[in-house]
Amino acid sequence: MTRKLTDLSEHLESMGVRNLIDQLEYPIDVRDERTTQILSDYQNDPSLRLFGLKEEGMLLGLIGLLLTSPYAATIRHIVVRRELRGCGVGRRLIEAVCLEFSLVGLEAETDDDAVDFYRKCGFSIQSLGEIYPGVGRYRCRQLMTQS
């Protein structure tokens, strides 16, 4: 099956996109409000781009980027359908946007729950300490070489 990177800018209001954003696991009391705000940000800020990986029309995961320069970006959001986590979809999203934008630099900030994902994808990891009480934060960077 062919997995295809899709620009989601025209599909921000679809239930598939909203359902994946909901899986970012914000506290339940703010989840709906937070999801609405995230989607609004992607709709209104031209420096933010949201892409999905689709297979046979099903949205497998999405990645949101802040394009910081012509060849660098910051991952703002990345989420994969729960039942597909650990199957390479997140890694494929990263690879696909790097190819799409010819990125030579990519970074993200994350917490204890996701730092190993970035480590496995080849990112270098720098601890930022406990920015929030009891939660370690990390800056993850990946530099690619042009071939």
List, for residues 61-115, the tens digit of each pLDDT value.
999 999 998 899 999 999 999 999 999 999 999 999 999 999 999 999 999 889 9
Angstrom distance (rounded) from CA 63 to CA 77: 6
Torsion of CA 93, 111, 124, 50, to 10 degrees: 30
CB 113 within 8 A of CB 123: no
What confidence tens digit (pLDDT) does each residue in 17-70 have? 999 999 987 888 999 999 999 999 999 999 999 999 999 889 999 999 999 988
Angstrom distance (rounded) from CA 59 to CA 63: 11
In CATH, what is the architecture of 3-143?
3-Layer(aba) Sandwich (3.40)
- Whose tokens are 């979809």? That residue is 89
The whole-number pLDDT of residue 95 equals 94
pTM of the model: 0.90
